[in-house]
Structure 1
Amino acid sequence: MIDQATLITYLAILLGFVFIPGPAVLLTLARASTGGTRVGLATGLGIAAGDIIHTLMAVIGISAIILASAFLFTLVKYLGAAYLVYLGIRAILEKVDFSQPAAATALSPKAAFRQAVLAEVLNPKSALFFLAFLPQFVKPENGAVSLQLVVLGVLFVLMGLVSTVAVALGAGSLSTFLRRNPLVLRWQGKVVGTIYCALGVRLALQEK
């Protein structure tokens, strides 16, 4: 099992890492501000589910295969970028029906969860993080390497989930107020769509 000193060091690094605003936080913030707390929480859970998949991929070595191939890495990167840009353009062009209640026009938590899982799984930078960062805290003398990777990955997922849940709760509490204002509601989708497009472009321009 992981020794205490290594575990404390790892958790201290994660504490700073997961609370720095990044794609996961921005996605959760955007969803919670437009759809409310439940949609924000579903987005955070979707991101966590995607990170669990990345953890499993790192353990069984699929991530290493993808990252060893420039073609596969580029393919996954552009698929993820295209998906985010697609979500962004759809949000920008979406017309809001002000005759319908806010709940009727909001994205459902189930759809938000699915989109978040797909967006996170299609982010090769996440695969690179789990493959390059986690092994630095693995020591063969502490037992099975695969078990250590799973423990480290789960800890990252849990701390990341705490971060996105906090963001969802904070942004979700403002959602009801914002959605009562037609002018805010009209421009909110465009702002959120711009965030998605920016995240997609950022992903597309990133290198290994």
Structure 2
Amino acid sequence: MIALSAIGGVALVELGMALTPGPNMIHLASRAITQGRRAGLVSLSGTAVGFVCYLLASAAGLSALFTAVPVAYTVVKLAGAAYLGYLAWGMLKPGGRSPFAPAQDLPPVSDARLFSMGLLTNLLNPKIALLYAALLPQFMDPQSGPAWAQLLQLGCVQIVVGITVNGVIMLGAARVSGFLATRPRVMTAQRFASGGMLGIFALRTALSRGPVST
């Protein structure tokens, strides 16, 4: 059985990461605003499955793979950095859009597409890849049982916190969008702040020499 301190540590780390603007937050907020809360919930279910995929891959030895084959980590790192850079540019470029900007002109997307986009966005999220590959193992104790069992328990903690935070953000996205729509300067500041944070994280990810630790 894992220690309560490990559970608390993982919960706090995931809370901080989930509250940082990233691919999941941007995607879920955008979908909830453009197609409503139901679409946001379908996208959120895809995000949840993405978490489970990472958890199962980690239990199967993702961390060991990255350690044994450094090029695998490099590929994940650079792909994630490029994806974050793309999202950052989408907000920072002239005429860029904030994740909370109303976009009612976008065509509706089917539930299957919403689910798959939520899943893919999470699977390509470098924060989640590095969390499972490098951070969760730091909360494991050799005296607390098999490594895979501890990883599954810690991963479940991360998933509960992550889905809860993302769900709250998604459900409140429409209200935040309405607030910002009447305050263009605040909307612009929010767009540049979010894009800047994504850009910084993209550079940090691309230039890191190994798995990020906290």
Tell me the residue number matched to 2:64. Answer: 64
CA contact (8 A) 1:34 1:189 kept: no
2:11 equivalent to 1:15? yes
Query: TM-score by structure 1 length?
Result: 0.69
Aligned pairs (5 A) from 1:1-208: 2=1, 6-20=2-16, 22=17, 25-27=20-22, 28-31=24-27, 36=33, 38=37, 47-93=47-93, 95=95, 102-105=103-106, 110=114, 113-114=118-119, 116-120=121-125, 124-129=129-134, 132-136=137-141, 139-140=144-145, 145-180=147-182, 190-208=192-210
Cα displacement (A) at 1:201: 1.2
CA contact (8 A) 1:78 1:204 kept: yes
How many Å separate the matches in 2 of 1:136 and 1:31?
Answer: 35
Cα displacement (A) at 1:76: 1.3
C-alpha distance 145-203 of structure 1, shift in aligned 2 (>3 A):
closer
- C-alpha deviations, 1:23-69, integer Å up to 9, x for none? 66312554566553747766765554333222111111133112322
Cα displacement (A) at 1:82: 0.7
CA contact (8 A) 2:28 2:166 kept: no
CA contact (8 A) 1:84 1:196 kept: yes
CA contact (8 A) 1:15 1:159 kept: yes
C-alpha distance 155-15 of structure 1, shift in aligned 2 (>3 A):
closer
The unaligned stretches of length 5 or more in structure 2 are none
Cα displacement (A) at 1:186: 6.5
Q: What is the identity percentage for the equivalent residue pairs of Structure 1 and Structure 2?
A: 22
Query: TM-score by structure 2 length?
Result: 0.68
CA contact (8 A) 2:91 2:191 kept: yes
C-alpha distance 114-126 of structure 1, shift in aligned 2 (>3 A):
same
The unaligned stretches of length 5 or more in structure 1 are none
CA contact (8 A) 2:7 2:154 kept: no
| Superposition CA RMSD, Å | 3.8
How many Å separate the matches in 2 of 1:158 and 1:68?
Answer: 30
How many Å separate the matches in 2 of 1:112 and 1:77?
Answer: 20
